[in-house]
């Protein structure tokens, strides 16, 4: 698990600055075998 990881939602500006926050607010996707944070938070993805 990478220890420096963060994500910011480009729509609402919500930030996840550690694994737990990203897990909770963003969720993950697998790209080419690598686990990366979703670019949009869960809430914005639902409304997209």
Residues that bind Zn ion in the complex, under the rule CB under 5 A: 9, 11-12, 14, 41, 44
SS (H, E, C) 1-44: CCCCCCEECCCCCCEECCHHHHHHHCCEEEECCEEEECCCCHHH
Q: C-beta of 1: minimal distance to Zn ion in Å?
A: 23
Radius of gyration of the chain (CA): 10
Q: C-beta of 6: minimal distance to Zn ion in Å?
A: 14
Instruction: Give whichever of 5 and 44 is closer to Zn ion, judged by the CB atom.
Output: 44
Instruction: Give whichever of 14 and 36 is closer to Zn ion, judged by the CB atom.
Output: 14
């Amino acid at each position: 698990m990478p220890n420096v990881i963060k994500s910011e939602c480009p729509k609402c500006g919500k930030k996840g600055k550690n694994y737990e926050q990203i897990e909770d607010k963003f969720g993950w996707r697998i790209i080419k075998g690598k686990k990366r944070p979703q670019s949009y938070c869960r809430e914005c993805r639902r409304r997209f």
